[in-house]
Amino acid sequence: MNDKRPLVTILLSPATKSMVLGDNGAAALAEVADVRFAPEDPAEWDLPVLLADATACLTGWGTPRLSAELLEQCSRLGLIAHTAGSIRNLVPEDLVGTRVRVCQSAAVIALSVAEHTLTQMLVCLRQVHLLDRGLRDGAGWGELRAAYPGRLLRHRTVGVVGASRTGCAVIDLLRAFGPRIVVSDPLLTEQQAAELGVELVDLDTLLSTADVVSLHAPLLPSTENMLGARELGLLRDGTILINSARGRLIDADALYAELDSGRIIAALDVFETEPLPADSRWRRVPNALITPHSAGHSDDSHRLQGTAMVEEVVRFLRGEPLQYEIAADAVATLA
């Protein structure tokens, strides 16, 4: 390797590398730096050796945790570019923005989650899955149309819990449909709400007035089980509850009881235990549309995640401002 060129280490498994990086991403890095690839078998990864003399590294799903001790050894490492979302299990939070700069692809993933969330809203409002199931089971044409007449998104009130990246991306998509949008977020100001074109309300008001409730809050000690039996009891009959954020935002037993009663409808992409066991009750839950934590996954978003982080590394090496950097004071509130 050329001593005059910076070194970038790629800490991605073969599957993740193929998914997010491809040949073009590696080639773009090679134009500005020497590139070191981790062995194909993650069991053979020697992180101190792989990161020795590296100026930046690219990480993603399956990358082992980069401990404080490791970062202390790798004194030249100045940037970690994470091609996935959460960094909680990747790097010590107190070192982000202090010992090492970190950027992530959460903003790109938010676009994918937002589209998935909008799809869930429309499917549940129009009950597409039930119409499909009924036709396949031999139900009558007119019988199904009478049983599942559907509702228009434009005439609903949508409650967004958490004005996060994803929450704001959902709001952006909703504008084209024209529903009333209410938001609950303790960090959102009235001025920011006005700029988003939404109404800022407290959580109880949102739950008791919205026809569709979509969760986009981070999982923190203060938000775990934020929707318990009392909060779920505020939902009106027929409310659609969507969770594409984190399973533990909702008390699982309380949610199951509400769904079992038939009082509300849910679209769930996340669960308290993942992957779902084969005998999980959620596989049999009534009145729910369930998906395997797939909201943030699409071929397009995967490649965009890698591209975004490759571009961040290039900016870093050129001394340019980063677009997706995590500020040290923002780490505590990230999902």
Q: Are 312 and 103 in contact (CB under 8 A)?
A: yes
Q: Which helix (H) or strand (E) holds 56?
A: strand 56-59
Q: Which long-range contacts (CB under 8 A, 24 or more apart) does 37-44 make?
A: 37/9, 37/10, 38/9, 38/10, 38/11, 38/12, 38/13, 40/13, 40/14, 42/13
HSE toward the beta carbon, residue 157, CA cutoff 13 A: 18
40, 143, 274, 320: the catalytic one is 274
Cα–Cα distance list, 28 to 23, 34, 37, 40, 128 (Å): 9, 11, 14, 21, 43
Q: Which residue's entry shows tokens 């009392």? A: 230
Residue 3: exposure state from Cβ atoms within 10 A (0-12, 13-18, ≥19): exposed
Q: Active site includes 69?
A: no
- Look-up of token digits 């303790």: 186
Of 82, 116, 165, 246, which is the active-site residue? Answer: 246
CA distance 183 to 203: 8
With a CB cutoff of 8 Å and minimum separation 6, the contacts of 241 are 213, 215, 232, 235, 250, 255, 264, 265, 266, 267
116 catalytic residue (yes or no): no
Q: Give the other-Cβ count within 10 Å of 236's Cβ.
A: 12
Which residue carries 């994470």 as its tokens? Answer: 82
165 carries an active-site annotation? no
* Peptide bond between residue 275 and the one before it cis (omega within 30 degrees of 0): yes
Q: Give the span between the Cα atoms of 113 and 141, in whole angstroms.
A: 33
Catalytic hit among 126, 293, 297, 303: 293
* Catalytically annotated residues: 246, 274, 293
